[in-house]
Amino acid sequence: MEITELIQITVNAISIGAIYALLALGLTLLFGIMDILFFAHGAMYMLGAYAAYYLCTKLGLNYFVALPIGVILIGLIGVVMEKGLFRPIRNDHVAIIFLAIGLNWFLESTGFVVFGLRPKPVASVFTGQAHFFGATISWERAVVVLIGLLAVLALYFFLMKTRWGLGMRAFAEDPLTAELQGISNDTVCSLGFLIGCGLAALAGLLVAPIFILTPTMGSHAVLISLLVIGLGGLGSIPGALISAFIIGIIESFGTSYLGADITWGMIFIFVIIFLIIRPTGIMGVVRE
């Protein structure tokens, strides 16, 4: 009995960790490449979830058709935002943070007006549960975990192994030199927003059937992601992955053994103390 419970708690931890990793991925990418803390990530995630609602529930599209459509659509919204809003103030980092904050809450409150105040559900695609060693996980969660991990790996390989990724990393290192080497800063930024917002939308589309949609879901998600990427080391993708699972483990074990009301506070205290002692996070480097 004890051991099944342990397995169940571990499974829960993995599922939470994967969702958090997926959430934090786009945020940490944008920070790593462009040094932008893109608060509107939360709004993009929310829009992704609502895209699932409108494409699947309202238009009756197949979920797997809706998935790429939603991701590309919201990725493109990201590109438009980059070109229209962020490019003019690209070098003013404080203004960019404020702009992203403004955008997040602007889209959230617009969401209330457009999507309505009542929470919206999206029908499950995979029904039923998987059982192993006495632990239970619903199939839809298992799929999210799988796709989440795949997305992390894909992004990592994209950045490390492709020419585009190389260009982005060069830009992250020093935009001026990258420009001299023939890497267009504008293209890199647009690409960064396309991928970053696309990943946020992917997270939203994936969790839509598991959770319930409200316009505020984004702000909650972006604050959690902030905690994750802060702990992991800003801008580091492996760091975000590790810290997402650390937080998932604390949350799962803490909630199951100590209670939900204590756990969330413990996560905060843990992250704060960790950051005060080691401000670079698990993997990050401090940027001047």
Partner 1 sequence: MTRVRPDPDRQGKFLGEMKAQQKSRLYFLGLFVLLGLVPLVLRSEYYLHVLIAMFYHVIYATTYRFILRTGQFHFGAHAFVGIGAYASVLLVMRAGWSFWLAMPAAGLIAAFFAVLIGYPTLRLKGIYFAIITWGFGDTLRFIYMRFKEPFGGPLGIFAIPGPNPITIPGLITIDFSQKTHFYFLALALMIVTLYILHRMEQSRFGLIFGAIREGDRLARAVGINIMNYKVLAFAVCSGLGAMAGSFYAHYTYYISPLDFSVLLTIYLAIYTVVGGQERYAGVIVGTVVLMLAGEVFAGYSHYQLLMYSGFLIVILLFLPGGLISLPGLLTRVGSRAEEKEGEKFRNDPA
Partner 2 sequence: MKARAMIWGKILMVVAGCLLLLTGAPAAEDQPKEVLLGGITALSGPAAPWGIGMQNTWQMAVDDINNGGWWWQKKGFTVDGQKYNWKLTVYDHAFDAAKAVSAANRLISRDGVKYIFAFDGGMIKAFQPISERAKVLTVAYASPGKDYINPQNFYTWMYGVDCIAAVIFYPWLEKNTAYKRIAILEPDHWTGHTTAEASRFGISKTQLEIVFDEYFPPDTTDFYPILTRIIKTKPDLIDIGNVDPAARALFVKQAREMGFKGPMYLITPDIANLKSVAGWENCEGLYFLPYEIELTPGQKHIEKVYIERYGEENWIGSLAYLLWDFAFWLTQAIEEAGSFDTTAVCNHLEKMKLKSVFGEPAYFAGQGYYGINRMPLYPYNVCQVQKGQLVQVITGAYADYLK
Q: Which of 62, 110, 129, 181 binds partner 2 (CB under 8 A)?
A: 129
- Quick one: which H or E segment has residue 137? strand 135-138
Q: Which amino acid would we find at residue 23?
A: L
- Binding of partner 1 by 99 (CB under 8 A): yes
3-state DSSP of 58-90: HCCCCHHHHHHHHHHHHHHHHHHHHHHHHHHHC
Q: How far is the CB of 168 from partner 2 (least distance, A)?
A: 32
Cβ-based nearer residue to partner 2, 82 or 251 = 251
- Binding of partner 2 by 28 (CB under 8 A): no
d(CA 75, CA 262): 37
Three-class secondary structure of residue 56 per DSSP: helix
Q: How far is the CB of 185 from partner 2 (least distance, A)?
A: 38
Q: Which of 6, 7, 76, 97 binds partner 1 (CB under 8 A)?
A: 97
Assign residue 259 a region: left if phi > 0, alpha if psi is -120 to 50, beta otherwise?
left
d(CA 153, CA 149): 6
Return phi, psi of residue 19, to 5°: -65, -45
In the list partner 2, partner 1, none, the entry touching 278 (Cβ below 5 to 8 angstroms by class) is none
- Binding of partner 2 by 236 (CB under 8 A): no
- Binding of partner 1 by 237 (CB under 8 A): no
167-179 burial code (b ≥16 CB/10 A, e <16): bbbbbbeebeebe
Cβ-based nearer residue to partner 2, 72 or 212 = 212
Of 267, 240, 239, residue with least CA distance to 251:
267
- Binding of partner 2 by 240 (CB under 8 A): no
- Binding of partner 1 by 105 (CB under 8 A): yes
d(CA 79, CA 198): 10
How many CB atoms neighbour CB 91 within 10 A? 8
In the list partner 2, partner 1, none, the entry touching 156 (Cβ below 5 to 8 angstroms by class) is none
d(CA 74, CA 48): 7
- Binding of partner 1 by 1 (CB under 8 A): no
Cβ-based nearer residue to partner 2, 34 or 66 = 66
- Binding of partner 2 by 114 (CB under 8 A): no
Binders of partner 2: how many residues, by CB under 8 A? 32
d(CA 43, CA 222): 8
Binding residues for partner 1, per CB under 8 A?
Answer: 31, 37, 85, 88-89, 91-95, 97-99, 101-106, 108-110, 112-113, 215, 223, 226-227, 230, 234, 261-262, 264-265, 268-269, 271-272, 275-276, 279, 286-288
Binding residues for partner 2, per CB under 8 A?
Answer: 5, 8-9, 12, 15-16, 19, 112, 117-119, 121, 129, 136, 138, 211-212, 214, 216-217, 220, 251-252, 254-257, 259-261, 263-264
